[in-house]
Structure 1
Amino acid sequence: MILLAPMEGLLDHILRDVLTRVGGVDRCVSEFIRVTDQLLPARVFTRIVPELKTGGRTAAGVPVHPQLLGSDVACLADNAARLAELKPEGIDLNFGCPAKCVNRHRGGAVLLDEPELIHAIVAAVRRAVPVSVTVSAKMRLGYMDTSRTLDVARAIADAGGSEIVVHARTKADGYKPPAYWERIAAVREAVPVTVIANGEIWTVEHAGLARERSGCEHLMLGRGMVADPGLALRVAGLRPTPLPWVELLPLMQVFFAQVRATVAPRHQGGRLKQWLHYLRRAYPEAEAAYAELRTVNDAGELARRLFGIERPVSPAS
């Protein structure tokens, strides 16, 4: 099983749509939905996870599990119950976000020092939603160190979490290489639930090493999939070679059409260049395009110069 990671500010529903059209992804997890002290209206959930309006799946039919973030046990449970009314196949809980502003407000990775609270959150959410809705969690190896890794994993599993994605770094490690996949092996051995390895998987070779060192069959791909949209297909053994640029370019047109239809004009060019920046890692064509277009901000000019078109293709194409 290959999961597409949540990536705040990058991997939103538009990019989920396009990347799952490529293939190889079995499930997506959404960007986090922040829960503080109130019951959110359904429109907040569907704004961040519009796939909830179409059976909880992308256009390619890949399930999307919305992710909740917060530390208020009762409020998270109430919001999970409301979210479950929108019929997602599963709900994920965020115990891994390393962002300072999130951690400062007792969300994400800072909770890794409080396994008792994590247990209470997972248990409350599990009780609040139907049995048919899976409850999973994403965690890091720890906050500032790895001393409580197994305590957290056991807290999630004992509270009813059915899957745990482990990002193989602490909050203190941030996103700096390397990822310590070998440390996930102890988590897998400590809990009776599915454990999924995540972190620094950029290539098929990295995927093989992550599986070997962690002992996990299942993987979550994030930045590696953004940089190389055919990566999941190759990791799954469904395609022997990278996705050619000529096949990727039409998908980029679909992406940019959706961006132009839904994103404020001043941010449209930035979204396209953000993806091009990642694609530079795998595609020399993206490197050349990024160098040419780096200072271009007008969306129409970007479309003309990158795709050779006057108007973007339909977002539904």
Structure 2
Amino acid sequence: MAADVTAGFDDSVLPFAVPDLDVRGRVVRLGASIDTVLARHDYPEPVSRVLGEAAALTVLLGTALKFEGRFQLQTKSDGAIPMMVVDFTAPDNFRAVAHIDEAKLVEAVALDQLSTGDLLGEGHLAMTIDQGSATTRYQGIVPLTRQSLEEAAHQYFRQSEQIPTRVRLAVGTVTTGGRPHWRAGGILVQFMPHSPERLRAADIHPGDVPEGHEILAGNDPDGVSDDAWMEARSLVETVEDHELLDPTLASERLLYRLFHERGARVFEPVVVHEACRCSRERVLSMLRGFSPEDRKAMIADDGKLGVTCEFCSRRYSFEPSEVEQGVTSGL
């Protein structure tokens, strides 16, 4: 495996496998793409950090799609960030947006309750796979109970995919050119042994133990009793934030640090970038779906219907006659 520090690995996902441990995974490094998303909206720092985590997680999962389609992560909760949406369009585009409850954010800052779990609060997280109109969408939902996005992802894979999974996410800034630039990174590893027997947990209680002593019985939180998975999971949990954010540390070098004793195999990286799916045609079609009364209420003082994309902030303006013409003609 390549171990030299190289440039040009930002905004990419590097798939890898460790055959000796029966694990596969991906490393994501987001630079200019996530900085563009967060700088465009000028979110407060705590909100940018949480949305950056969500974007890194979505790209990690979305790049696993083997078909053209969309992977979407969406949260709805009662915290200072009541909603986040991150869309990934295979094979390589993503966009992201967050909604903010200003009053709750001020309160959270005052109380220094700024962890991801605190800012999201309680609600749910949905992960949706959409292959297009010809197929049924798949959606997995997990509750949000003030836990981190890493923990929510682990719960999703336990209940929806039943694949032992570990995720580490990091978001931060690096100052260059006189201003801080946002960066995000993450690593995902999954246990995929050839034999399903190795996914089974030990089902016999180890017997009487002293009160207060933790019972491990060789199992990890996923309920898997396998030394290879325990080793892989433990190694990934040692990854520190700066290792995922350092622009001079190549993903190959990080994997070498983790798995050099076992040997990791890396595959062709996927270059990703920020891109919105909005267009004048899509917005026009949406407007024509509203009732005549609603369209009339949307007309601004300048006599036009205006719509701003909440993802990319692009402004679209239409003459009422342009919208109505399509409605009457059946377009």
Pairwise same-fold verdict (TM > 0.5) = no
User: Which protein is richer in helix relative to its size?
Assistant: 1
Highest relative contact order (Cα 8 Å, sep 6+), 1 or 2? 2
Normalising by structure 1, report the TM-score. Answer: 0.31
Normalising by structure 2, report the TM-score. Answer: 0.30
